[in-house]
Amino acid sequence: MIEIKDVSKNFGPLKVLDKINLQVDRGEIISIIGPSGAGKSTLLRSVIQLESIDDGIVEIEGLRIACRKDRDDDEPIDKTTVREGLAKMGMVFQGFNLFPHMTVLENVMIAQTIVKDRSQKEAQEKAKAILNKVGLTDKENSYPSQISGGQKQRVAIARALAMDPDIMLFDEPTSALDPELIGEVLGVIKALAQERMTMMIVTHEMNFAREISDRILFMEDGRIVESGPPDKIFVNPEHPRIRTFLDKILS
Ligand SMILES: Nc1ncnc2c1ncn2[C@@H]1O[C@H](COP(=O)(O)OP(=O)(O)OP(=O)(O)O)[C@@H](O)[C@H]1O
Ligand SMILES: [Mg+2]
């Protein structure tokens, strides 16, 4: 589903991703944990091409969407292929980035009509169905300023889902929320996990990660230090650094 081969990324002299290798299978749920500055966000942003990579290859369902620009040993990247590959992914960020002048319903409709070429009627039906799924039917006509942070984040998730992604990427979806609003957002992600949506989730919610993930990646200094099933990483990690990190975050 996702193939990341030898991906490296620098910001000036700083190596932020250092030869990252990762394969994600269909229906697999991966959580990425690790200290601030480890490169977690950059990894997700590189997968969805919000950052260009300096080296390596990214493929989505066999479609090559990124590689080093000056590679002569690879086929050049085709724009249509990139567009097709990117359309298979949805991403949700810490900040919700909703359009403030549009209602909740309009926020979930807009990209459908522009990118997917759906009619207003089709887009509205789809938006209503998904808003119902994330429990926001009663907020359809509210504006973002009129709803809570947890509700805003559920709208952001609904907006991504309305594009029918095969893969969802979440970058700390609950970090900007008051503690009492975190649960409702995690609940929506959990429901997606039960439907076996393929997901990569950067999170500091360790219990949540442990509960829903098939695999945990621990990143530090631009590298995947260790990866494995939750019970292994949380109970018996090989790398002592993970133990220190977990002790610190859980205390
Ligand atoms: N646009 C940028 N320009 C320069 N440096 C950047 C840029 N974006 C990120 N960095 C640096 O790259 C490193 C990795 O950042 P990244 O945001 O991927 O870390 P992270 O693991 O997501 O951290 P956090 O848990 O704090 O969100 C950091 O040292 C950061 O300062
Ligand atoms: Mg980050």
Output the pLDDT for position 78.
83
Give this prediction's pTM: 0.94
Q: What are phi and psi of 32, to 5 degrees?
A: -115, 125
Q: Residue for token digits 């620009």? A: 69
Q: Mean pLDDT over residues 110-119, rounded?
A: 94
Mean pLDDT of the chain: 93
Say if residues 138 and 86 touch (Cβ distance below 8 Å).
no
Q: Is residue 182 within 8 Å of 174, Cβ to Cβ? A: yes
How does residue 74 score in pLDDT terms, banded at 50, 70 and 90? low
Cα–Cα distance measured from residue 58 to residue 81, given in angstroms and rounded to the nearest whole number: 12
CA angle at residue 166 from 160 to 167, to 5 degrees?
A: 70
Mean pLDDT, rounded, for 239-245: 94
Does any ligand 1 atom lie closer than 6 A to the CB of residue 9?
Answer: no
pLDDT at 116 over 80: yes
Q: What ligand 1 atom has the least distance to the C-alpha of 51?
A: 1
- pLDDT tens, position by position, 130-154: 999 999 999 999 999 999 999 999 9
Which mutation among 7, 20, 41 tests ligand 1's pocket best, with the greatest number of atoms within 8 A of CB? 41
Q: 49: burial class by Cβ within 10 Å (0-12, 13-18, 19+)?
A: middle
Indicate if the pLDDT at residue 216 is higher than 70: yes
Where are the strands (E) in 112-189, listed by range? 167-171
Return the DSSP state at 97. Answer: -
At residue 197, the pLDDT reads: 96
With contact defined as beta carbons under 8 Å apart, do 206 and 174 qualify? no
Ion ligand 2: residues, CB within 5 A, are 41
User: Which amino acid residue places its CA nearest to atom 12 of ligand 1?
Assistant: 16
Question: 168 falls in which pLDDT band (50, 70, 90)?
Answer: very high
- The pLDDT tens digits of the residues spanning 19-70 come to 999 999 999 999 999 999 999 999 999 999 999 999 999 999 999 988 876 6
Task: Indicate whether 82 pLDDT > 60.
Answer: yes
Instruction: Quote the tokens at residue 63.
Output: 């479609």
- Dihedral angle of Cα 188, 193, 195, 200, to the nearest 10 degrees: 110
Ligand 2 center–CA 121 separation, angstroms: 37
Q: Which atom of ligand 1 is nearest to the CA of 172?
A: 27
Q: Give the pairing of strands 29-33 and 215-220.
A: parallel
pLDDT bucket at 76, cuts 50 / 70 / 90: low
Q: Indicate if the pLDDT at residue 75 is higher than 70.
A: no
High-pLDDT (> 90) share of the chain, %? 88
* Residue 182 Cβ contacting ligand 1 at under 6 Å: no
Ranking 4-8, 62-66, 97-101, 161-165 by mean pLDDT, the lowest is 62-66
Which H/E stretch holds residue 189? helix 179-194
CB 243 within 8 A of CB 200: no
